[in-house]
Amino acid sequence: MKTPESGSDQASAALVEQAKVSRWLTDNGFGHELLEIDDLGVEVLKVDREVLVPFSMALYAYGFNYLQCQCGYDEGPGKALVSVYHLIKVADGVRQPQEVRFKVFVPREDPRLPSVYWIWKAADWQERETYDMYGLVYEGHPNLKRILMPEDWVGWPLRKDYVSPDFYELQEAY
């Protein structure tokens, strides 16, 4: 075993030592990248969209039975769109549940990724909102349609390269 020489190698080694979930995933053959451990001690992982479903199923099997939050963000014009998932292990008698967060980066030219609705039902409206605001397409979602904007709205309002229309013509209400 190689001993870390520099301070950054030592910091990397300490980071990997703290990352229980990442270590378990690696030991079981689930590819990912450990991005950081945030200030609350939550591991932040990066996952490729091609392995999102098996990766998510592994986390569910590991005990992460509650999707607390799914959201998206835009890294900026010409950069990736990101789908973020925050999971919690909910168990009886546990005061401080274990948490993990993972991100899926997709190119804005092809913003498709699989839905995790079939694993965590809480993803339903959250994926729809991310679709509506950023244009991330969750393939396999049972009802992926606009939830906040009118159905005929053109564009994705929270993308950083979005140009607001001069006006929006209201349709007659039935």
Residue 166 has pLDDT above 80, yes or no: no
Sheet holding 81-88, edge to edge: 33-37, 43-46, 99-106, 81-88, 66-74
pLDDT at 164: 81
- Rounded Cα distance between 90 and 96, Å, is 9
Helices (H), the chain: 7-18, 20-27, 52-62, 123-134
pLDDT in tens, 19-69: 899 999 999 999 999 999 999 899 999 999 999 999 999 999 999 999 999
Mean per-residue pLDDT over the chain, rounded: 88
pLDDT at 92: 77
Residue 3 has pLDDT above 50, yes or no: no
pLDDT at 33: 94
Q: Summarize the confidence of residues 81-98 as an average pLDDT.
A: 90
pLDDT confidence bin for 4, thresholds 50/70/90: very low
Which pTM does this prediction carry?
A: 0.85
The yes or no reply on domain 7-111 and CATH 2.40.40.20 is no
The residues spanned by each domain of the chain are 7-111
